[in-house]
Every structure is written in structure tokens, then in C-alpha cells.
Structure 1
């Protein structure tokens, strides 16, 4: 059901995709879909969680093994690991995030979901920039919150989409650009 919903959301957009269309694509009764998820918004939220994680395991981003590894690394490697992981996440989730971003203008509940997603990304980035601050690696005059703000802008799915989908970069080229940008901008 989630796969069918993801296909339809990215093909048609959130508003144009109905619960009945999802059920038909998934080859299940509409009642089954409603019983499992209740609402189209719940399906979209579940899809976002699954795509960000890359699996169905109920493990928060900050509890994933790569995060502990990155936080323990020297500053440049910390940023490179963060960017590489972000590139992997964006490769999976960017089309769905574009669905959410586009639908947010017309649907207050989806606008709330979009704002929650931005807040979650900032929270994760603040952990990384906090680790850089604790290592005394941030450039003078830059605190962890401002560094997280800057990382949020550089690592945004909008930038990823612009450079990979519209400008033809591959994920590795985007990751190289983003890592170099963050290293120059954030570190001493």
C-alpha cells in the first residue's frame, strides 16, 4: 500500500491522489487502506518516515549507528559523513518531500507536516553542529545554532533537487559540493 501511495503521490501529486486510487493501485479494498492508515495524510507521514530511515525499523535518525560514528570523527570527517548520509537520504526521499512542499500551500495539515520536517532536520543538524562546537571546531563568532541554520540551507532537499534533477549533477557531485561548502563555511 505504501509503495502504491508513493508512486501515485510522485506521479500525480498529493491533492490529485485519492484513497481509492491508492487502494486500486495496491490491489486492496479501500476499507483495508482506511483501516490501516485512516487518512491520506497518515500515509504520507508514514512514507516520509520510511524513506528518511531507508527501512521500516522504528529507529530515529539520531539513534542510527552512522550518527555515533560521525559525531566521534574529526570535524571535517564529521561533516563529510553527515553530507554523504544526507545525500543517501535525499536520493530516497526528495521526490516525496517535493510532494509535501508542493501540497503545503493548499493544505494546512500538510503545511504542518512540512514545517515539522524542517524542524526535525534542524534538530538533527544542531546535534552535529553542537558536536563541532564541543570540539572547538566552529569558526570564530559562529555558534552551534547559527551553524545548524547554515547547514539546513546547504543541505536542503530544494538544493539537492535543483542541482541533481534540474542541473544534472549526480548525488556524489552534490555531496562533494555540499561538504566543501560546509567545511569552508563552518570550520576554523
Structure 2
């Protein structure tokens, strides 16, 4: 999901500190740079986007960009982290309210629905940027590292969901927790989301319905209703 999925709970529990004027301005500047970079990365691609172009789009000097982030890779990593989280608060994925609520839900079906809704919200913000990372990772070692880290983070988060799900309902077909985690990551991957929603034109809500049905059918022994046929030919 996000590198915040790996951060400790102690950091998330701290009360927010008040920002002085300089810190607040730096935060605003970083946000402008991230917004500009996200737009450029998802339209021109990672290779086709320069620090100079990011600076121009953000309305700042190149040195400001270098001072704030250091490298283009760091900008992309920060942009992805923020897109996944939905904000720039240092709260781990597993400490986010939607995750806690899904894990605490005693109904396995409801946990699955909450889990998929949360993943869907992430992809509404981050699917395009994740595709940039995945595409460039084949030729850029720096982005290959970011992509590998992202996969590992998704595995970590999905394993927590699967372990909690096993407390509420049996897994299907003798699946182990590890195997079920792999299936969950595949079903709820940005690649699958982009294929169905962006490339095949599915509505986001249609993807959610399909994902919930597939997740329940493949990973649990719960009965599932047939999915209405409404996808484009």
C-alpha cells in the first residue's frame, strides 16, 4: 500500500505538533511540488518528466525542488505515498480508521466489503501513479525498488486482513494464510483495477462488486450471489 504500512504505532499515536510559519510554508511548497509532479508523471511518464518541468509546473525554482526532495525518485516516492494515504499525515496504513473498522467488524462479509471499499478509494487516487511506477520499473532500478517495496507493503497489509478473516470464517479449499494473502493481493492489485476500470471501461462500483464476489468465492466458504452481467462487451 504505502510505506506508512511499515511505520510503528508509536509514531502514529503522537499528538500533532503545531507548525511554525516556516514549517507550514515548506509543507505547502512540498504539496505544490507533489501535485505538479503527479500530474506530469501520469501524463508525460516518469522518464519524460524533468525536475525543471516539475519546478515550472509548481511555480518554484529548481533548487527549491532539490532542497525539498533531493531526487526525482524521492518526489515520486512521496507522491505515491501521499496518493495511497490520501494525505501527508504520518499515519501507517494499518492504523488508518478504515482499516481498523474493517478488522473490528465481526461480520466476515462486511469486513470484505470494507476492505475492498478502502482499496478502491486508494486506487481512485493512486492507480494511475502506480501504473507509472510499474511501467518504468522494468528499465529503471530505482523504480524497480519502489515497485518491489509497494508489492511487499500490500502483502503485509493483506496478510493482516486474511489473518483476521480466518477468525470469522474458514478459508476456502484448504488455503493457507500465505496462499490466501497472495490471492488477495492479485485480486486487489492496481494492475487488475487498471485493466478493468481504465482499459475495459468498468465503473468503479462495478469493480467493487466484482472484487467482493471474487474475494468471497475464492477465499472463503461463504455462499455468494451471482454477479449481475453489466460489463461492456
Q: Residue 165 in 1 paired to residue 198 in 2?
A: yes
Distance 2:170 2:79 in 1: 36
1:130-187 residue CA offsets vs partner (Å, 9 max, x unmatched)? 1112334312411211111001111110110011111111111001000100001111
Distance 1:51 1:85 in 2: 13
- Aligned equivalent of 1:147: 180
CA-based RMSD:
0.9
Runs of 5+ consecutive residues of structure 2 not aligned to the other structure = 1-32, 222-233
Q: Is the 8 A contact 1:75 1:137 kept in 2?
A: no
- Aligned equivalent of 1:12: 44
Distance 2:204 2:141 in 1: 32
Distance 2:131 2:178 in 1: 26
- Aligned equivalent of 1:24: 56
More helix by share: 1
Distance 2:169 2:120 in 1: 26
Q: Residue 87 in 1 paired to residue 120 in 2?
A: yes
Q: Residue 53 in 1 paired to residue 85 in 2?
A: yes
Distance 2:174 2:138 in 1: 36
1:24-47 residue CA offsets vs partner (Å, 9 max, x unmatched)? 111101000000000000000001
Runs of 5+ consecutive residues of structure 1 not aligned to the other structure = none
Instruction: Indicate which of 124, 130, 134 corresponds to 1:97.
Output: 130
Question: Would you say how many aligned residue pairs link Structure 1 and Structure 2?
Answer: 188
Larger radius of gyration: 2
SS of 2:52's equivalent in the other structure is helix
Distance 1:140 1:9 in 2: 42
- Aligned equivalent of 2:22: none
Instruction: Indicate which of 52, 69, 72 corresponds to 1:40.
Output: 72
Structure 1 runs of 4+ with >6 Å offset:
none
Please report the TM-score for the alignment, with normalisation by the length of structure 2. 0.79
Distance 1:121 1:151 in 2: 9
Distance 1:139 1:102 in 2: 33
Distance 1:183 1:8 in 2: 38
